Amino acid sequence: MSSKTTIQRRTFVKAAAAAAPATAFAAGNSVLGANDRIRAAVLGVNGRGQSHMYGLAPIKNVEVATFVDPDLEIARKRAGEFEEKHGHRPSVVQDMREVFDDDSIDVVTIATPNHWHTLASIWACQAGKDVYVEKPATHTFNEGLSLIAAAKKYGRIVQHGVQLRSSEAIREAVQKMRDGAIGDVYMGRATIFKWRPPLEPAPDEAPPATLDYDLWVGPGKWRPYSKKHVHYNWHWTWDFGNGEIGNQGIHELDMLQWGLDVTLPDEIVSSGGRYLWEDHRETPEMLTTLMQFKPERKMAEVAVRFWHSNHETRSANGNIFYGSEGHLVVSGYTKWDLYRGRKPELVESGEAPTRHYENFIKAVRSRKTEDQNGPVESAHHSAALAHLGNIAFKRGKKLDFNRETNHFSGDSEANQMLSKTYRTGFEVPPPDSV
């Protein structure tokens, strides 16, 4: 199937969907019973997609049917590995648009590079598929507004890949804070401490024969193929990734926002840079971001740095919430510790595994967004914290953000950074045009 054909087909799908109610367009809108088989396609199988395929496989009456990747060598390899472990071989597709045209696919999970997350999710919604999208759900702030609009318009379940939301222990910790276990919660601190080694130099060159590089770039800015970007280090290139605050950081930002019971900040200031490696990384190695939530009278501090660090939380990646009577530490996705008093004493702890894929499938079957632990609105808000922090870093000054208008006050350059320019055929539509 040619790119021209599938782009034309996508245009037709958008027009047809706009002319019909979502219930008529989306075949999956009826409630699915426990015995109804759900067929899933995994988009992007080099990294996080492996977690998707093996997370979905054990769930009853869920079939991992198709692997999608612009690099066919990777897709075929993963299909073979999956067959060896689970006894059946998923089909392999290079162009995700073929999956959106496939009526036998009910849900898609998206583990592409960040710059593809929103467009792939919107295309899936338009095609009547439910979506599990990796963090961050968006590459820019404004993409979040479009993603919310698409999920609502087409009546789709869109789940954000922030696993801690489905940990019974972390849900318990949040409830304890809501119930006043540490008094009035006034501040949260997110710690994002990951080891990131120096990047090896790599020239621009011809892409491998098995890779459709034009498709890989998709809605991103065109850059010549280089191993500097493909297949992992795109995280540190602004045109494809969002730096560490938009990588591991999204988990901690989502927890920070959830624990503080806030959405978007009113003031943001961010400072950092590159201090260790003289390589081609564009995003900061170290970043400190402060956010004020004025009506709620709460503050957030986000600390990004490399691995060599004290463990402020047990896992080096986590959150600390400060209250008038104590503090609570969330470690990773599954653990918490509660301390009280001016000389902190450990009062109680909790730990439990996460069941985030199961939660997604539950909501797909029930068609109830209230069943979701990682709904599309929180996907936008947690990713937005990273986007706003990065914009403040680039501007090098304190920024005032208006939650009502979704714009910065008095800074046209910062407002331009809320969106980006897309390549022809890969445009993320504005919210009123999804």
Reply yes or no on whether the pLDDT at 17 is more than 50: no
Q: What is the pLDDT of residue 309?
A: 78
The pTM (predicted TM-score) of the whole model is 0.93
- Token readout for 393 is 């870093």
Asked whether 258 and 236 are in contact (CB, 8 A), the reply is: no
Closest-CA residue to 238 (of 284, 279, 175, 177): 284
Distances (CA, A) of 405 to 348, 383, 398, 408: 42, 18, 18, 8
Q: What is the pLDDT of residue 27?
A: 40
Query: CA 289, CA 270: separation in Å to the nearest integer?
Result: 4
Within 155-297, where are the H helices? 168-178, 213-217, 249-260
Q: Is 38 left (phi over 0), alpha (psi -120 to 50) or beta?
A: beta
DSSP string, 126-153: HTT-EEEEESSS-SSHHHHHHHHHHHHH
Region 36-49: mean pLDDT is 97
CATH class of 3-165+357-366: alpha beta
Query: CA 214, CA 133: separation in Å to the nearest integer?
Result: 22
Reply yes or no on whether the pLDDT at 22 is more than 70: no
Listed by start position, the domains of the chain span 3-165+357-366, 168-200+225-353+386-416
Those residues with Cβ within 8 angstroms of residue 108's Cβ, 6 or more apart along the chain or in another chain: 40, 41, 42, 43, 96, 99, 100, 120, 124, 129, 130, 131, 132
Q: Quick one: 168-200+225-353+386-416 is in which CATH superfamily?
A: Dihydrodipicolinate Reductase; domain 2 (3.30.360.10)
Q: What is the pLDDT of residue 333?
A: 93
Query: CA 16, CA 20: separation in Å to the nearest integer?
Result: 6
Query: CA 115, CA 306: separation in Å to the nearest integer?
Result: 24
Backbone φ and ψ of 234, nearest 5°: -60, -20
Reply yes or no on whether the pLDDT at 153 is more than 60: yes
Mean pLDDT of the chain: 93
Region 394-411: mean pLDDT is 98
pLDDT digits (tens, 9 = 90+) for 104-144: 999 999 999 999 999 999 999 999 999 999 999 999 999 99
Q: What is the pLDDT of residue 314?
A: 77
pLDDT digits (tens, 9 = 90+) for 221-249: 999 999 999 999 999 999 999 999 999 99
313 or 299: whose pLDDT is higher?
299
Region 400-413: mean pLDDT is 98
Region 303-313: mean pLDDT is 82
Q: What is the pLDDT of residue 31?
A: 72
Residue 278 CA from chain centroid, whole number: 28
Percent of the chain with pLDDT over 70: 93
Reply yes or no on whether the pLDDT at 178 is more than 70: yes
* Strand partners for 38: 62
Residue 114: how many CB atoms within 10 A of its CB? 25
Q: Is 217 helix (H, G, I), strand (E, B) or coil?
A: helix
Q: What is the pLDDT of residue 30?
A: 59
Could you list the beta-strand ranges (E) of 56-120.
62-68, 91-93, 107-110
Query: CA 401, CA 408: separation in Å to the nearest integer?
Result: 4
The number of helix segments (H) and strand segments (E) in the chain equals 13, 16
Reply yes or no on whether the pLDDT at 33 is more than 60: yes
Residue 139 burial (C-beta neighbours within 10 Å; 0-12, 13-18, 19+): buried
Q: What is the pLDDT of residue 126?
A: 98
Q: What is the pLDDT of residue 81?
A: 98
Q: What is the pLDDT of residue 306?
A: 85
Reply yes or no on whether the pLDDT at 307 is more than 90: no
Those residues with Cβ within 8 angstroms of residue 4's Cβ, 6 or more apart along the chain or in another chain: none
Region 36-50: mean pLDDT is 97
